[in-house]
Structure 1
Amino acid sequence: MSVYVDDAVTLWRGRRWAHMMADTLDELHAMAARLGIPRRAFQDKRSGAHYDLTEELRAQALEQGAVAISRHRDRDQVRAIIRLARSQWSGAADGERSL
């Protein structure tokens, strides 16, 4: 089982951001907790269950064992991980999941 972080390429509010996804929601939430990310930051989205990470948090996640994936080099793997993240969506309206 693994936690994955993609390239920090999304520019928002002057910073670059990455997505953190995992094979299971338990692994995803556990890594977020180790990084000090509050559960309210969880993105329960139809596009895929994930957390957004700054470049700094991405580096910390990698130090703690997350697997780096590149949307440019690892396209098949990234697509598979995104399919898995989409399957983890609760089915509730985005952001309305009770935790």
Structure 2
Amino acid sequence: MTVYVDNYRCPATVGRLTGRWSHLTADTPDELQTFAARLRLRPAWFQARCRYATCPAPDGVCVHYHYDVVDTMRIRAIHAGAIPIDIRDFGALITARRAAARQTAEANR
């Protein structure tokens, strides 16, 4: 299982929580869900909805799947085995997922 957490650290307030937010993702949605459960992240916080018609969503799961996490959770994730990556690397992961999803869709036509 490979899980990643980026260094985006965008300041924002979500509900009652103010912090610097980063993205927690993994190679597959199932791996991410398993890791998130170990961190006690709520499944309802999982983000996997495509906002753009151009984004392929194989099996109904968008290639942008992730959890938003604040700095304290980012540190916990790293201690639990998540690989820290740059925000540009997160973008590269999404780009690779999108290309693979398009390739799979074309092969299934």
What TM-score comes out, normalization by structure 1 length?
Answer: 0.73
- TM-superposed deviation, 1:81: 1.3
Does residue 1:20 correspond to 2:24, yes or no? Answer: yes
Consecutive aligned runs of 4 or more in structure 1 exceeding 4 Å deviation = 84-88
Count residues with an aligned counterpart. Answer: 84
Change beyond 3 A, Cα 1:46–1:67: same
Higher fraction of helix: 2
- TM-superposed deviation, 1:80: 2.6
Gaps of 5+ in 1: 89-99
CA-atom RMSD in angstroms: 2.1
Distance 1:85 1:19 in 2: 16
What TM-score comes out, normalization by structure 2 length?
Answer: 0.67
Of residues 30, 34, 38 in structure 2, which corresponds to 1:34? 38
Does residue 1:7 correspond to 2:11, yes or no? Answer: no
**For residues 13-92 of structure 1, what are the structure 2 equivalents within 5 Å?**
13=13, 14-46=18-50, 48-71=64-87, 75=88, 77-84=89-96
% same residue: 38
Q: Which amino acid aligns with 1:15?
A: G
- TM-superposed deviation, 1:10: 1.1
